[in-house]
Structure 1
Amino acid sequence: MSPERWTRPGDETDTATGPPAATAAKPTREQVIAGLRATSEGGADLVQLLSPEGQRVEHPAFDIDLTDAELRDLYRDMVLVRRADREGNALQRQGQLGIWVPLLGQEAAQIGAGRALRSQDMAFPSYREHGVAWCRGIDPTDLLGIFRGTDHGSWDPIAAGFHLYTIVIGNQCLNAAGYAMGQRFDGKVGDADGEATMAFFGDGATSQGDVHEAMVWAAVYDSPVVFFCQNNQWAISEPLERQTRVPIYQRAAGYGFPGIRVDGNDVLASLAVSRWALDECRQGNGPVLIEAYTYRMDAHTTSDDPSRYRLSDEMEAWKLKDPIERLKAHLLRDRIADEDFVRSIDAEADELAARFRDFCFNMPEPPPERIFSEVYAEETPQLAGQREDYLRYLAGFADETLAGGVR
């Protein structure tokens, strides 16, 4: 069942006029925090299809019907992505990577949104979307060069429908809005087979001007872009209440397009809401803002120490809402999968981890001339001269055998 069509400001037929409503009293800080930190056990504003205990629940507007095989595939996606993420974290601690950005706890939000994308769609990630990359066919080993410092991404963004990682906070939203404007200008929206774009960012990025500007442009041009905010409660060391005084999804009304909050630890709800939002964009009814209400279970990056700014009690409470355990409980309770299936996925995860580690340890160092070969499609004389000068300079540091065998 599809939700009712959202009505844009100015589309209403009611022309009744009257004095404006009385201005509400300014909320206290406690009221602001209480409103922002709504629990994920329910609430009229939260779309949820799977309870934290793994029980299937219905939603009047966003229900979804998946086969047993599709449910098992979602579980496999989340388990494998988490295992690759944990290996990336360990490799950084061992000095093999310069940094790693964990996604622990956000697997359901990313896999749900990633599996909602179609082949003709385009996704714009930040630097934590390892799960979305997986859904777009990017092998986890392709991410290693970014964090080892050997490349900026080794996949073709157009072929994969997945842009390179964006390190500048929020900048990918501007890129996504511009790309989506092009989709509309080129007539690639307007029916069920149209194109759509999805931009991924965190709650902290909503304080960036780039995100605001992207939403302004997207709204003005009815761009087919879904802004997918993973609200993991912490912008590095700053809590959500330092970012906004209203729930993030409610900000969409200020730009003139719909916003919706989904349980980001519920992969079924994330998939259902993302499908609806992308379909809205394909039909020409975009943009849409999705707030995936989730939690970052690890550090912001491996250079961060979350124990300095958040309490362990908060972490323990969110562990009970673990997205993988939630779906696992549902699969086992409803006999959609058995323990043999769970063990087989764990074994597959072990194989992926071993391949991931082996690839990292054996990554070749790129030659220095590559910084010149990857600049232009056709080399210019000036660039060729710069390359020769640089290589000649480097050659001056080469080891030479001196008299007496001393180097």
Structure 2
Amino acid sequence: MTIQEMPGSTAYRPSPPPAWQPRTDPAPLLPDASPYRVLGTGAAAGADPALLRRLYAELVRGRRYNAQATALTRQGRLAVYPSSTGQEACEVAAALVLQEQDWLFPSYRDTLAVVARGLDPVQALTLLRGDWHTGYDPREARIAPLCTPLATQLPHAVGLAHAARLKGDDVVALAMVGDGGTSEGDFHEALNFAAVWQAPVVFLVQNNGFAISVPLAKQTAAPSLAHKAVGYGMPGRLVDGNDAAALHQVLGEAVERARRGGGPTLVEAITYRMEAHTNADDATRYRGDAEVDAWRDHDPIALLERELTARGLLDEDGVREAAEAAEAMAADLRARMNADPVLDPMDLFTHVYAERTGQLREQEAQLRAELEAEADVEDGR
């Protein structure tokens, strides 16, 4: 028996609205009929030149980062690398719209967003090399660990954002997920809780067309993934995911809305994964070269470069400077990743729990005994 059911109870009993009565007008929540764009439209004239140049430099750096990480995988320096080539605009914009105190909740494909947020590229790749549970301190970086299970980071983002609001902290959480993650239960639960609690969180869905090999049409019959926002009671925004300026504007507006107490927003960015899902995937089995080539004409770097060149904001020297800075980053990453790390197997048990459980202590003792036995054999004892 609950308190409200007890005889004589004076506990508060809220009166819900009738089930047929909408709790909010759905019209303002609906996304646009087509993805919002800035580059190549009249809206581009109002874009900040300094911001556009910074976005360009970050995109060029991000493309080179993706290429270098992919090469490291082929060389055996990484166990796996999910490339975000073609999706750099989503990655960069997500990082740049956040303030220092805000939190980023990335998925496994979002190492570029983590680097654009300011994290050391080597630390961003440590998990994918298999050296550590995660390669950085989440609290210090304000970046949650790279999340491999689909969409499980979304409820965590909502929880952190809700807790920050209750404490009165000026914090917004931005959670990134792929279109495949929207088919998971965690996606539904996160959006539902976020809307009910009016948590200061922004969900960025990078719709790159495929959940590994499953096309979007086999995942949902909705008009768009952004339309799903309406069912939870939050605004849905549909944006060109290769238009860095449009993404920065839409995500920036969503972040500031959340910061003002306006609640969550679901942003769907239409983009494309130019490379395979990971180095373990053969993308030619489920898509053709013609489809990939068509998207090359809508490359995020080329779109922004055209805009900057047309407005006289970028010349050959500027292109060369961006490329040289990106190459310097890649050379440093290559050199540091080619150095064999010094690892302690006992670190497996570090930072798992604040206080180690009995089972964890038992496993730790077992591993220590095995390592000591191996050392004795090597010493000939």
TM-score bucket of the superposed structures, by smaller chain: 0.7 to 0.9
Q: Deviations over 1:8-34 (max 9, x none)?
A: 94355xxxxxxxxxxxxxxxxxxxxxx
CA contact (8 A) 1:136 1:161 kept: no
Q: 1:45 aligns with which of 12, 21, 34?
A: 34
CA contact (8 A) 2:111 2:146 kept: no
The yes-or-no answer on 1:116 pairing with 2:105 is no
Structure 1: gaps (5+ residues): 1-7, 13-42, 189-193
CA 1:372–1:205: 2 relative to 1, 3 Å: closer
Q: 1:65 aligns with which of 47, 72, 76?
A: 47
Deviation at 1:389, TM superposition (A): 4.6
CA contact (8 A) 2:111 2:125 kept: no
TM-score normalised over the length of structure 2: 0.87
Deviation at 1:222, TM superposition (A): 0.9
Aligned residue pair count? 353
Q: Deviations over 1:351-374 (max 9, x none)?
A: 111111111111414111222344
CA contact (8 A) 2:47 2:245 kept: no
Q: Report the secondary structure of 1:371's partner residue.
A: helix
CA 1:383–1:202: 2 relative to 1, 3 Å: closer
Which structure has greater helix proportion?
A: 2
Q: Report the secondary structure of 2:374's partner residue.
A: coil
Deviation at 1:330, TM superposition (A): 1.4
The yes-or-no answer on 1:95 pairing with 2:76 is yes
The aligned residue for residue 210 of structure 1 is 186
Distance 2:65 2:113 in 1: 13
Deviation at 1:400, TM superposition (A): 4.1
- Taking only aligned residues, the RMSD between alpha carbons, in angstroms, comes to 2.3
User: After alignment, is 153-162 or 295-304 more displaced?
Assistant: 153-162
Q: Deviations over 1:299-345 (max 9, x none)?
A: 11111111000111111110000001111111122110210111111
Distance 1:281 1:183 in 2: 12
CA contact (8 A) 2:155 2:186 kept: yes
CA contact (8 A) 2:77 2:337 kept: yes
Distance 2:356 2:233 in 1: 47
CA 1:400–1:180: 2 relative to 1, 3 Å: closer
The aligned residue for residue 9 of structure 2 is none
Distance 2:163 2:379 in 1: 60
CA 1:221–1:305: 2 relative to 1, 3 Å: same
TM-score normalised over the length of structure 1: 0.81
Structure 2: gaps (5+ residues): 1-20, 26-31
CA 1:64–1:173: 2 relative to 1, 3 Å: farther
Distance 1:342 1:349 in 2: 11
The yes-or-no answer on 1:195 pairing with 2:171 is yes
Q: 1:299 aligns with which of 255, 276, 279?
A: 276
Distance 1:114 1:401 in 2: 51
Distance 1:378 1:209 in 2: 30
Q: How does 1:1-40 map to 2 (within 5 A)?
A: 9-11=22-24
The aligned residue for residue 83 of structure 1 is 64
Distance 1:167 1:11 in 2: 35
Distance 2:126 2:349 in 1: 18
**Identity score, percent:** 40
Q: 2:208 aligns with which of 226, 232, 250?
A: 232
Q: Report the secondary structure of 2:158's partner residue.
A: helix
Distance 1:352 1:231 in 2: 28
Distance 1:283 1:175 in 2: 21
Q: Report the secondary structure of 1:284's partner residue.
A: coil
